[in-house]
Amino acid sequence: MKAYPYRRARLPQPAPIHPLRESKVAVVTTAGLHMPDQPPFDSSIKGGDCSYRWIPDDVAVQELLSAHRSKSFDQEGIARDRNLCFPLDRFREMVSEGIIGSLNRRHLSFMGSITAPGRLQTKTAPEAAQELKQDGVNMAFLVPI
């Protein structure tokens, strides 16, 4: 880990907190998940694949495929239950219980273990965030893997 090229993020003022019961939520994972009909993340890209995949809200979570490139963690639990890395079923339960207002029509999956995050920080993450904003999302739940 000492050789890992960490970067310092300069974040703007945090967004105001929106009441959960009135929030429109999107789930964002870095587990490299994708739909069966989507191309997997490209593990051959040096520094990591900075693209993202939209995951529709009505997906059967267990049908998602994983293309995560890191071999440094045990993926057995995630293989058995995708909710460990993409807890959409738990969020559906929170909507039905009135804990959160609603879920967005789509959610995001990025690849984790990106060792050269420049393009992710300057292009793809802001692009995805802007699309979520256009969807009316006011809260994102990040599941870093």
Helix (H) or strand (E) holding 96: helix 88-96
- Nearest CA to 53 among 29, 72, 76? 29
Indicate yes or no: pTM above 0.75: yes
Q: Write down the domain spans for the chain.
A: 34-143
pLDDT (0 to 100) of residue 1: 58
Tally the C-alpha atoms within 13 A of residue 93's C-alpha that lie toward its C-beta. 5
Tell me whether strands 52-56 and 106-110 are parallel, antiparallel or unpaired.
antiparallel
Instruction: Per-residue pLDDT tens, the chain, 145 aa: give them.
Output: 566 666 676 767 777 788 999 999 999 999 999 999 999 999 899 989 999 999 999 999 999 999 887 767 677 888 899 999 999 999 999 999 999 999 999 999 999 888 888 899 999 999 999 999 999 999 999 999 8
